[in-house]
Structure 1
Amino acid sequence: MPTRPHHTRDLVWLLLAAFVVIAAGLGLRDPWPADEPRFALVTRYFLDGGDWLFPRRGDELYSDKSPVFMWVQAAAISFAGGSLRLGFLLPSLLASLGTLWLVYDLGRRLWTHRVGLAAAWLLLFALQFTFQAKRAQIDPLLLFFVTLANYGVLRQLLLGPDPRAWGLGGFAAGLGTITKAVGALSLLMALPAAWAAWRGWPRVAMPRARTWGLGAVMFALATLAWFGPLFWTVARNGEAWQQDYLHTLLFHQTVNRYTASWDHHEPFWYQFGVVATLWLPAALALPWAVPAWWRRLRRRDARYLLPLGWMGLVLLFFSVPEGKRDVYIMPALPMFCLALAPLLPGLLRKAGPRRLLLAFALGLGGVLLVAGLAMLLGDPGFEHRLLGRRGYAPGDIQWLAGLLVVIGAWMLGCAAVLRARPAAAVAWALGGLWVIYSFGAFPVLDRYLSARGVMAEVASHVGPGAELGGVAWREQHLLVADRPVATFGFGPSGAEPGASWPEQWRRATAWQAEKPGVRWIFTLEEAMPACVDRDAAHFAGATSRRRWWLLPAAALPPGCAAGAAATPSG
């Protein structure tokens, strides 16, 4: 299929806009809680010469997630010259740009160039996609692998026979599987295809036996990139801690998390609420898209059946377990945008969708503008309730309030100027929101969400020759510390698996007693025993609504700490 010059120009503009929106603020912040510092700390462990198969946070194995994302992040940080601030977000940026291209190219091949562009634009400004693309989480990389798998599978099933594309799909599904377990869900696309082939739908090219085998081999090869060395090492050494790591990762954190979820309990319909809210503004089209999809399905158009059928399977799969998070269904978002894109020209000629789009821009802009003005001009108690409890300085609160006013005014201005082109109005409004937020808010928020300020105070107070140990620490503290930090187990909330606070205190006080003149304990306030002499301790600062203290040996009376009750929180 030849590419015309203006097609290339349109794609360049799309990717350039996506780069500006997603990369805005790059280098202006550290990793933020909850997950970003954890992944970055494991990544730094790898870069500092750690075991690349068995990641660690502090002195404990990290078996919650596979290390694949951290491997990619390590490569990105190395590419950025070792700069954590520049490199830790690069995997999400590149994966998101790749996902947009895949959706465009798939839409172009299945329909037209304009449909491909529409699908990619819908995805770029879906709230969930943009928000996750600007964070250093595993999910944008998983999204790329799953979309790449869908890309290869759909090229075989709808544009085939194409064994190479099917093999690519299998390989990408394998990479997705070792990245975050659920990557194999992309292969479920074959179920609606098999049903359509059984019912005699046109355009469905089911793989031959040899092609099925190729996909299986490519899937296995991709998974062996991690499983191979891991299983070999565990089988060869047979050490108990390695076997425990493997069992925890494969069974407790994967199978048990799905079948017997211990957190994030939500009702069955929760994921449908995610579609209706976080998939905005594309989800605004659902009242008109659903009947249109039904008409096309009745005409036996498999280009709609396969993406929509797969999306329904993903929604069902993640609605069954009690534990649910909004990011679980994000892999289905590109297929949603792909199925919606061919309908977009017709929908935008209707008065209802046009008015709803403008109402979205006006409503969101109006809410942000009113909130900003209320913080600037209204009841001071409002801003205290909104931000003051987090320890924000009055000047920073005023700055953030001003940003809300600017963003709100920008969105309302876009809706007014481009009211005859509501889709363009929403795109410009959301693009401005993300760019202004990134450049304007990142430097301010970073002072409260990063531990850099607290750890700078720690370094200044204890001096260059002191040694530091952490009790109830968070990953962000180790990440930005100016020296090695001794750790005594990981159990930051007192309820998570790992060493309990009393156990950490027992180890920490024994460690400090070996060199009482130079060793300090850095600890969370609510984990401190009630017997601590606060007059001898030093308050180091607050991050993310948590207060942190430095304790010299003199702050711990004889017999204090081990087994003692912690200070009541609050």
Structure 2
Amino acid sequence: MKRASSADRMSPRPLWLLLALFAWLLATAWVRPLMAPDEGRYGGVALAMLRSGDWLVPRLDGLPFFHKPPLFYWIGAAAMSVTGPVEWAARLPSVLGAVAGAAALYLFLRRWSAAHVALLSTVVLATMPFFFLGAQFANLDMLVAGCIACTVLLAAGAALSKEREEPWRMLLAGAYLFAAAGLLAKGLIGLVLPAMVIMIWCGATRRLPLALRLALWLPGWAVLLAVAGPWFLTMQMKYPDFFDYFVIKQHFRRFASSGFNNEQGFWFYLPVLAGLTLPWFGWLLVPRGKDDDARSGNSDVDRLMWIWLAVIVVFFSVPRSKLVGYVLPALPPLAYLIAQRVFAGRSPDALRTRLRATALASAMVCVTCVAAMAIYSVPPGTRLRLPTGMSVAPGERVLMLERYFYEIPFYWNLREPVLVSDDWQAAARDTRDNWRKEFSDAGRFEPGRTAVTLLDRSRLAPWLCVPRATWIVGPNTAHLTNAWLARAQLVAVNDAIAAWRFAGSATSDPHCLGSTSDATASGAIGNE
């Protein structure tokens, strides 16, 4: 009988590992401010959900925001209902997604591989800078990555268990549950990608009939539809254009079209995965040990991980638009493959010192990256602080000129949507993926609300010449193209943006911004 290594004997209990993962990933989630635009956007939508009390419709500045489903916002809003608008609560959905994915990897490998492989794979994953930073970033990528990991591993565990006549139904029900969570986290990829991985794996291991039976398991579909179906059905009934926008445009057209963010070549994710997983990635370049032998008992797991890695990388390499976070679901299988290479022909006990050094170095890289981002990546809106004793009073409005600063509603703790001034007719014709396009698209679902939120910048007098104050936020050069700002009080300024307080007009004088010709000229200059 093979003697258990010290790593096998010291394998932690799942609950303690779960708590350790959560503490490690949450420990620095409060250190740096929210980054623009992503973190400000998604944190702001979650806060707006809490403020409005509408937990069904995600809203960007009060307008329906259907780029993504609501699970991230539900978790963030629930956290902020307890803590208020703080950074770690806005990032909690990403932390939970990372913990779920890492815990699922550990539990799966502890059952279907060796305990020391399970433990090292989890340590590698949790201390990869790419994974750690993804868990520290308030957007939807890590949450859906965690859902995808849980779905793949639970489904694979169910297939292996059923084949060995072990209990499998709870595992498969869990896979369908996490597929539903993936749908609610980021849409169809939460279901399509795990299904692709499992189907290709089952085909490669001659289990395709079993895969089809599991895919057609009616109780699982009942779970999926009961969890994910109500929100999608409710949105379609409330907004008839929802299906066309959310499914056709945000999924299929976005996947096939150009004009979105960060167009890159097919090769893009290879250096991303290699560079952002150092120093662990370096172990893949180390030759196998002399005593490496075939691991027939683990061949199914090996194939699952290789297929999982390849499906994710190839799938996201096809579109021209590539963002770094898209490939986060590839990290759990990559962590396993690194762990397997580490132990190839080597004793776990003999590697203890080197593995501890690598884990410590990788953890230091993680923390250093967070510290560097805290120092050097502070968005302008976060740095724009109102003077002590000044705040937006109830009944006062905030108007943003020429740009929407996603992070300001969060840091100013605003309870009402802001007014946004721009050339919205031109924005409606713009096909580029930017903040104007987001607002223009959101405005199509509720025209009435849009008319009192998105304001033409050449016709601001009816909104400003009222008997209440309006806070103006815009570029710190906005006074050069908006002469009426000379009548406002400058209250805060930094190297990029500024804030003014415009007192309004006690008599609702329609000319409080100056003469009609002056106001029109200001708008015309701003349109150039």
Shorter-chain TM range is 0.7 to 0.9
Could you tell me how far apart the structure 1 residues matched to 2:161 and 2:49 are?
42
Distance 1:244 1:455, change over 3 A: farther
Conserved 8 A contact 2:476-2:493: no
Q: Which amino acid aligns with 1:518?
A: A
Could you tell me how far apart the structure 1 residues matched to 2:80 and 2:86 are?
6
SS at match of 1:53: coil
Q: 224-233 or 474-483, which moves further after superposition? A: 224-233
Unaligned runs of 5+ in 1: 199-203, 355-419
Unaligned runs of 5+ in 2: 1-6, 428-433, 444-452, 505-511
Conserved 8 A contact 2:32-2:373: yes
Identity of aligned residues (%): 20
What are the residue-to-residue correspondences of 1:139-538 with 2, within 5 Å?
Answer: 139-161=141-163, 162-181=168-187, 182-184=189-191, 185-198=193-206, 207=210, 210-214=213-217, 217-219=219-221, 221-232=223-234, 234-235=236-237, 242-263=239-260, 264-288=262-286, 301-346=299-344, 421-435=353-367, 448-449=378-379, 451=381, 453-457=383-387, 460=390, 466-471=396-401, 472-481=403-412, 483=414, 484=416, 486-488=418-420, 496-498=437-439, 503-506=455-458, 508-515=460-467, 518-525=469-476, 530-532=481-483, 535-538=486-489
Conserved 8 A contact 1:314-1:329: yes
Conserved 8 A contact 1:45-1:56: yes
Conserved 8 A contact 2:492-2:500: no
SS at match of 2:325: helix
Number of the residue aligned with 1:564: 524
Could you tell me how far apart the structure 1 residues matched to 2:155 and 2:211 are?
13
Conserved 8 A contact 1:21-1:435: no
Superposed displacement of residue 548, structure 1: 2.5
SS at match of 1:550: strand
1:69-97 Cα distance to aligned partner (Å, 9 max, x none): 1011112223x343534422222223222
1:40 paired with 2:43, answer: yes
Distance 1:253 1:116, change over 3 A: same
Q: Which amino acid aligns with 1:173?
A: A
Conserved 8 A contact 1:532-1:557: no
Number of the residue aligned with 2:4: none
Conserved 8 A contact 1:7-1:113: no
Conserved 8 A contact 1:61-1:245: no
Conserved 8 A contact 2:380-2:497: no
Conserved 8 A contact 2:293-2:345: no
Could you tell me how far apart the structure 2 residues matched to 1:284 and 1:347 are?
17
Larger RCO, structures 1/2 (Cα 8 Å, 6+ apart) = 2
Q: Which amino acid aligns with 2:390?
A: S
Q: 251-260 or 30-39, which moves further after superposition? A: 30-39
Quick one: which of 463, 484, 500 aligns to 1:550?
Answer: 500
Conserved 8 A contact 2:396-2:471: yes
Distance 1:217 1:466, change over 3 A: same
Distance 1:82 1:218, change over 3 A: farther
Q: Which amino acid aligns with 2:244?
A: H
Number of paired residues?
A: 481
TM-score (norm 1): 0.72
Could you tell me how far apart the structure 2 residues matched to 1:502 and 1:526 are?
21
Superposed displacement of residue 305, structure 1: 1.2
CA RMSD, Structure 1 to Structure 2 (Å): 4.0
Q: Which amino acid aligns with 1:340?
A: I
Q: 489-498 or 66-75, which moves further after superposition? A: 489-498
Distance 1:495 1:527, change over 3 A: farther
Superposed displacement of residue 116, structure 1: 0.2
